[in-house]
Chain A
Amino acid sequence: MTTLATRRQAAPGGSTTSRPARSGASSVGRPGFAWALPATIFFALFALVPLAAVAVLSFTSWSGLGDPEFVGFENWETLIADPVMLKSLWLSLLFIVLGVVTQTPLSILLGVWAAGNQRNRAILSAIYFIPLLLSSAAISVLWRALLDPNFGIPGQLSWLFGDGNLLGTQSGAIGVLIFVGMWQFTPFHTLIYQGAAKGIPTVLYQAAAIDGAGTMRQFFAITLPQLRNTAITSIILMVVGGLTTFETVLILTNGGPGTDTTITAFYMYQEAFQSFDFGVGSAIALVLVVVATLISLVVVKVSGYDKMNSSLEGL
């Protein structure tokens, strides 16, 4: 113990000379690379190898039986000429934009509001939290039941919902999916913003109040800028989540009416596991990976998030 203390005291003076000795001494007790191997191999087997495989499979024809057969660019040509594929990309984009636009302001407002320490806010926050306890499948099944044209809420409130078949039109179906997404994910993002808003130093608000800034002014001048990094994290999660929405579409609309809510992730499932065209399915999957990565990179770039090493570490 004494040697440790003396060495630490000596460090500021001769840090360059003491460094190699120190690392030499302490690497004795350090774990080797072998400690990381089991997890790395396991993850590579189920994520990285399949990622490479999906690229290969996109150049093959495979129905799930027998072996995949190499067909060159045929799947890609099919996809490029496929109007449903193009439509699915636009729909995915629409879903992402509408999801971000509806959930972000709501969760910022609720999060900042819930960060206040009045007692009623704690109780309401606990209720807001409940949708998080349900799985996506459970939420989709629940809303499908709630929106049932005959036995659901629209049937009972026909003065509000007309004939009650909300999922029968494209705009109705998209509206329902966006609304259910909001119901499902706003609590999560509210929690993120609530945590971040609680972390804003009260000194900032006190200083602003002394300068005569009102509640509104404080919100726009202090709260929002302080939540910027949180907003980026939250939006990336929304974008990736929106792009890969699956249960909700399958259970609530099954991609319909027609192909009017067939977003790309769902189209991939249909092509691969309903039409048993795994080659085309793999090609769509690859598009999905590329789009997901691009969007994340763009958000990170535009926001300047990549320059903040510490935040990335904490993510």
Chain B
Amino acid sequence: MKTRPNYAAGIGSFVWLLIVAIPLYVMISGTFQTREEFGDNGPLSFPSSFTLQNYADAITSGFGRYFLNTVVVTVGVVAIVLLLVPPLSYAIVRSRSRGASFVFRFFLLGLAIPAQAVIVPVFYLINAVGLYDNLLGIILPTAAFALPICTLILSGTMRDITGELYEAMAMDGASPARAFFRLVLPLSKGGISTIAVFSALQAWNGFLFPLILTQSESTRVVTLGLFNFQTQYGINIPGLLAAVTLSMVPVLLVYLFARRALVQGLMGAGGK
């Protein structure tokens, strides 16, 4: 249909490419340079030597531990979300009780509550139950705040299961639990992987809850480690860039091997 190339769009997209790519180039190339070289030649210059020392420095300065903590938090959050959201969505989509439609509206309302708004009482609560400076203290509120969007996503998926399938199950005398495990879960695989990725990203990238609910090095997660590294060794820019790059690697792997699930997980509420 289009007849002539759109030069304005071509130039615009090229300019944006530079804006996106130059910082990423500096980020990657900086990690392979020594501090002296980076300082002398400036961030935009081409690396003339090659070193992996910055990655070694980042890992020995504690990032190994931080990664382990973040993995624990991520696994915990995903586990809670996968345990709670499918039965909830099932009830929202299939239950005839008035409570279920009330619950759906309740979670829609929950979308509007920013985590910052409740951080003080959450801090109080976590302290009161003795989970301050404990990874579980990060896991619980992070999982809770992932619930509304996950519920929306999974309810959307479950709505697509046709009534005939349920009726066929009921005809065979299947209980709601049996229908849930034999019909609903297998047919909601796409939605379930989306909410798993979405909640994993929330946990992996989470900053506010760890910042406020932990303090010691043994419970530090990667995002806080980056912040801490920056305030302590702000002058060691190649080391800092190596730490930033390392923090991206797991997400990059998911991007390379499960692109569709990652994009949908990233989109969350925006994706529809």
Chain A residues near B (Cβ < 8 Å)? 1, 3-4, 23, 25-36, 38-40, 42-43, 45-51, 53-54, 57, 64, 106, 109-110, 113, 124, 127-138, 141-146, 148, 150-153, 155-157, 183, 186-189, 191-192, 195, 202, 205-206, 209, 215, 233-234, 237, 240, 243-244, 246-247, 250-251, 265, 268-269, 272-273, 278, 281-282, 285-286, 288-289, 292-293, 296, 313-315
Pairwise interchain contact B266-A50, C-beta atoms closer than 8 A: no
Taken residue by residue from 56 to 99, chain B's Cβ proximity to chain A (1 for < 8 Å, 0 otherwise) reads as 00000000000000000000000010011101101110111101
Assuming A29-B176, A288-B117, is B87 touching A130 (CB within 8 A)?
no
**Alpha-carbon gap, A281 to B107, bound state (A):** 25
Pairwise interchain contact A145-B241, C-beta atoms closer than 8 A: yes
> Closest 6 A-B residue pairs measured CB to CB?
A29-B170, A46-B144, A156-B42, A50-B121, A135-B205, A50-B118
Name the residue of chain A whose CB is nearest to the CB of B164: A4
**Alpha-carbon gap, A292 to B124, bound state (A):** 23
Partner of A130, one of B13, B24, B91, B230: B24
**Alpha-carbon gap, A233 to B41, bound state (A):** 45
Pairwise interchain contact A42-B42, C-beta atoms closer than 8 A: no
Pairwise interchain contact B114-A127, C-beta atoms closer than 8 A: no
Assuming A29-B175, A46-B144, is B116 touching A246 (CB within 8 A)?
yes
**Alpha-carbon gap, A186 to B12, bound state (A):** 14
**Alpha-carbon gap, A31 to B97, bound state (A):** 9
Pairwise interchain contact B20-A127, C-beta atoms closer than 8 A: yes
B residues 221-245 in Cβ contact with A at 8 Å:
222-224, 226-227, 229-230, 234-235, 237, 240-241, 243-244
- If A26-B166, A46-B118, A153-B44 are given as contacts, then 15 extra A-B residue pairs at C-beta distance below 8 Å, sorted by A number, are A26-B167, A36-B91, A36-B100, A42-B143, A43-B144, A54-B118, A134-B247, A135-B205, A136-B205, A138-B223, A141-B243, A142-B23, A150-B39, A156-B43, A205-B1
* Interface SS, B side: helix
Assuming A26-B166, A244-B114, is B272 touching A50 (CB within 8 A)?
no
Q: Residues of B contacting A278 with CB < 8 Å?
A: 120, 123-124
Pairwise interchain contact A47-B113, C-beta atoms closer than 8 A: yes
Assuming A53-B124, A54-B118, is B94 touching A30 (CB within 8 A)?
yes
Minimum distance in angstroms from B218 CB to a CB of chain A:
19
Q: Residues of B contacting A30 with CB < 8 Å?
A: 94-96, 176
Q: Residues of A contacting B223 with CB < 8 Å?
A: 135-138, 247
The interface size bin for chain B is: 35 or more
Q: Residues of B contacting A296 with CB < 8 Å?
A: 112
Pairwise interchain contact A237-B270, C-beta atoms closer than 8 A: yes
Pairwise interchain contact B116-A285, C-beta atoms closer than 8 A: yes
B residues 106-163 in Cβ contact with A at 8 Å:
106-107, 110, 112-125, 140-141, 143-145, 147-148, 151-152, 156, 163
Q: Residues of B contacting A34 with CB < 8 Å?
A: 91
- 9-residue interface stretch from B46-54, B185-193, B248-256: B248-256
**Alpha-carbon gap, A138 to B20, bound state (A):** 15
B212 touches A (CB below 8 Å): yes
Partner of A4, one of B1, B97, B168, B234: B168
Pairwise interchain contact A29-B169, C-beta atoms closer than 8 A: yes
Pairwise interchain contact A273-B212, C-beta atoms closer than 8 A: yes
Pairwise interchain contact A188-B12, C-beta atoms closer than 8 A: no
Partner of B119, one of A150, A187, A272: A272
Pairwise interchain contact A146-B147, C-beta atoms closer than 8 A: no
Taken residue by residue from 2 to 13, chain B's Cβ proximity to chain A (1 for < 8 Å, 0 otherwise) reads as 100010010011
Pairwise interchain contact B19-A183, C-beta atoms closer than 8 A: yes
Assuming A35-B95, A39-B84, A156-B42, is B117 touching A134 (CB within 8 A)?
no
Q: Residues of B contacting A246 with CB < 8 Å?
A: 116, 207-208
Assuming A35-B95, A153-B43, is B118 touching A47 (CB within 8 A)?
yes
Minimum distance in angstroms from B79 CB to a CB of chain A:
13
**Alpha-carbon gap, A128 to B252, bound state (A):** 14
**Alpha-carbon gap, A189 to B268, bound state (A):** 12
Pairwise interchain contact A247-B207, C-beta atoms closer than 8 A: yes
B257 touches A (CB below 8 Å): no
Minimum distance in angstroms from B247 CB to a CB of chain A:
5
**Alpha-carbon gap, A153 to B252, bound state (A):** 26
Pairwise interchain contact B121-A49, C-beta atoms closer than 8 A: yes
Minimum distance in angstroms from A144 CB to a CB of chain B:
6
Q: Residues of B contacting A138 with CB < 8 Å?
A: 223, 226, 244, 247-248
**Alpha-carbon gap, A51 to B120, bound state (A):** 10
Q: Residues of B contacting A293 with CB < 8 Å?
A: 112
Pairwise interchain contact A1-B168, C-beta atoms closer than 8 A: yes
Pairwise interchain contact B84-A54, C-beta atoms closer than 8 A: no
Pairwise interchain contact B174-A29, C-beta atoms closer than 8 A: yes
Partner of B99, one of A33, A47, A109: A33
Minimum distance in angstroms from A168 CB to a CB of chain B:
16
**Alpha-carbon gap, A155 to B237, bound state (A):** 14
